[in-house]
């Protein structure tokens, strides 16, 4: 087959920088121009590696070949301060190990399906989101998002028009030090938009660490339906895990220190979470400005049929409460939770709320609800990792009420056996859960 003149020209340019056999699994290049030349003739299965150093790209580097990996020689050692990458209509492309500093950018457009963004660093202020994902089946893992002070989110998941990107998998990332001081617009993760709230994203956000997520009251802001937020650690942050819009999202097994969980919308399941808040408001039933949101509404939807179960909630003030609004929470369930604090009203729900309370244990203050609880010391003991767990004589053991068939494990996660224990922890002599640290996530994690 005779190659096009364009391909011949690209090959000639590339050969002036590095010797490339007819097919090399790994191609090393040293400059932005040689990287572009290598990408123009790349073949599926190749790994194109750019040398260490600070690189200035006058325009984005275009990736138009599927099935390739574009990588830094060492993660964190190859820095873009200008330019970045522009993905075309490709599939199964991996971008690995770069630092996007200064004005450099990377977005995953709708046509770049099944892209993987891994072990990159997004540092400092950007114009808009630090990383935007619009395509389906994108994996965002082991990246570090850090040191942003202007308006804009670290990670935005969107999609074409009124549609939402589907099956985004966001895991083992480190979100650090978003210090925007405005009242809104500095989330670490924004999944969807208000006008996409009825769309099913099927996203999974798991095993991420958030520290100093202070750019917004929402560290994770979910504005789409049918998602899972699980096993994340949030510490030293004013940002909560917030289901702002949408329905049927699961929030499971998260560890939150100093923040909490707030939700709007319908049919969510919030279980096995551990919230230790030195203040109050560990769990917040969000305000209802309307009974049910329309597909493009930006108002606050009343929580309907939300189940909050098997959580361990520690704080002062109103550990569980609701924001005030025109419409009170309706047909919700609050079951088998441990609430420990020191307030005259640990559970403080808006008048007119219809919540079924059952199997809860309240200790250290006044419950604030007429029934559905026992006031008894749960006998929590702090383990070596700082987590409050059940001790052997706890009255929470085998004491849950009702049937919650989807709760098959605890926050470790270990299997729940027999009649489940109240709270996030199923009593065991072999505790395994530890809060995430910087060594578990981000660019250098295993």
Residues 11/38, Cβ–Cβ less than 8 Å: no
Confidence of residue 280 (pLDDT cuts 50, 70, 90): confident
The pLDDT of residue 11:
41
220-270 pLDDT tens trace: 999 999 999 999 999 999 999 999 999 999 999 999 999 999 999 999 999
The pLDDT of residue 257:
96
Contacts of 403 (CB under 8 A, 6+ apart): none
390-434 pLDDT tens trace: 999 999 999 999 999 999 999 999 999 899 999 999 999 887 899
Quick one: average pLDDT of 71-85? 95
298-316 pLDDT tens trace: 889 999 999 999 999 999 8
Average pLDDT value over all residues in the chain? 93
317-364 pLDDT tens trace: 889 999 989 999 999 999 999 999 988 899 999 999 999 999 999 999
The pLDDT of residue 131:
97
The pLDDT of residue 294:
76
366 pLDDT above the threshold of 50: yes
Nearest to 3 by CA among 16, 17, 22: 22
The pLDDT of residue 349:
95
The pLDDT of residue 9:
41
Residues 13/37, Cβ–Cβ less than 8 Å: yes
Alpha-carbon torsion (60, 62, 52, 100), positive or negative: positive
The pLDDT of residue 22:
57
The pLDDT of residue 85:
96
Of 39-53, 165-179, 273-287, the least confident = 273-287
Indicate the burial class of 230 (C-beta count within 10 angstroms; 0-12, 13-18, 19 or more): buried
218-223 vs 189-192, strand pairing mode = parallel
307-309 vs 116-118, strand pairing mode = unpaired
25 pLDDT above the threshold of 80: yes
The pLDDT of residue 431:
79
The pLDDT of residue 278:
72
Quick one: average pLDDT of 134-158? 98
Confidence of residue 1 (pLDDT cuts 50, 70, 90): very low
The pairs formed by 10-18 with CB atoms below 8 angstroms and a separation of 24 or more are 10/37, 10/40, 10/41, 11/37, 11/41, 13/37, 14/38, 14/41
Spell out the domains of the chain, with CATH numbers in brackets.
Answer: 72-440 (2.160.20.10)
Alpha-carbon torsion (151, 154, 158, 160), positive or negative: positive
Q: How far apart are CA 71 and CA 359, in angstroms?
A: 52
């Amino acid at each position: 087959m005779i190659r096009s003149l364009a391909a011949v020209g690209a090959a000639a340019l590339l050969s002036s920088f590095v010797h490339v056999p007819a097919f090399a699994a790994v191609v090393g290049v040293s400059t932005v121009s040689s990287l572009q030349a290598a990408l123009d003739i790349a073949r599926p299965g190749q790994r194109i590696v750019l040398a260490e150093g600070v690189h200035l790209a006058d325009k984005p580097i275009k990736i138009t070949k599927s099935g390739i990996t574009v990588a830094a020689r060492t993660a964190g050692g190859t820095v873009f301060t200008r330019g970045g990458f522009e993905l075309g209509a490709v599939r199964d492309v991996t971008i690995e190990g770069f630092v996007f500093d200064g004005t450099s950018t990377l977005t995953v457009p709708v046509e770049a399906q099944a892209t993987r963004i891994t072990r990159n660093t997004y540092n400092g202020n950007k114009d808009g989101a630090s990383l935007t994902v619009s395509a389906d089946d994108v994996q965002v893992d082991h990246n570090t998002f850090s040191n942003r002070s202007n308006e804009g989110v670290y990670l935005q998941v969107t999609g074409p028009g009124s549609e939402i990107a589907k099956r985004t998998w966001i895991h083992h990332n480190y979100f650090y030090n978003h210090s925007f001081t405005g009242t809104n617009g500095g989330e670490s993760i924004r999944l969807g938009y208000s006008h996409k709230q009825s769309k099913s994203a099927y996203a999974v956000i798991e095993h991420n660490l958030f520290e100093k997520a202070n750019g917004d009251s929402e560290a994770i802001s979910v504005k789409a339906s049918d998602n899972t937020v699980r096993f994340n650690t949030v510490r030293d942050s004013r940002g909560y895990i917030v289901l702002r819009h949408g329905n049927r999202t699961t929030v499971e097994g998260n560890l939150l220190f100093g923040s909490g969980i707030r939700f709007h919308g319908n049919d969510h399941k919030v279980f096995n979470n551990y919230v230790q808040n030195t203040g109050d408001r560990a769990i917040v039933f969000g305000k209802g400005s309307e009974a049910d949101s329309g597909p493009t509404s930006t108002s606050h939807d009343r929580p309907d049929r939300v189940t909050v179960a098997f959580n361990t909630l520690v704080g002062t003030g109103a550990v569980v409460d609701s924001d005030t609004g025109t419409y009170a929470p309706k047909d919700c369930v609050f079951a088998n939770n441990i609430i420990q604090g020191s307030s005259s009203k640990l559970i403080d729900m808006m008048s007119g709320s219809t919540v079924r309370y059952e199997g809860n244990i309240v200790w250290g203050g006044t419950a604030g609800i007429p029934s559905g609880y026992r006031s008894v010391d749960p006998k929590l003991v702090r383990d070596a990792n700082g987590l409050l767990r059940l001790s052997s004589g706890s009255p929470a053991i085998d004491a849950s009420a009702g049937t919650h068939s989807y709760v098959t494990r605890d926050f470790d996660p270990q299997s729940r056996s027999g009649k489940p224990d109240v709270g996030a922890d199923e009593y065991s002599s072999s505790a395994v859960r530890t809060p995430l640290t910087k060594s578990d996530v981000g660019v250098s994690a295993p």
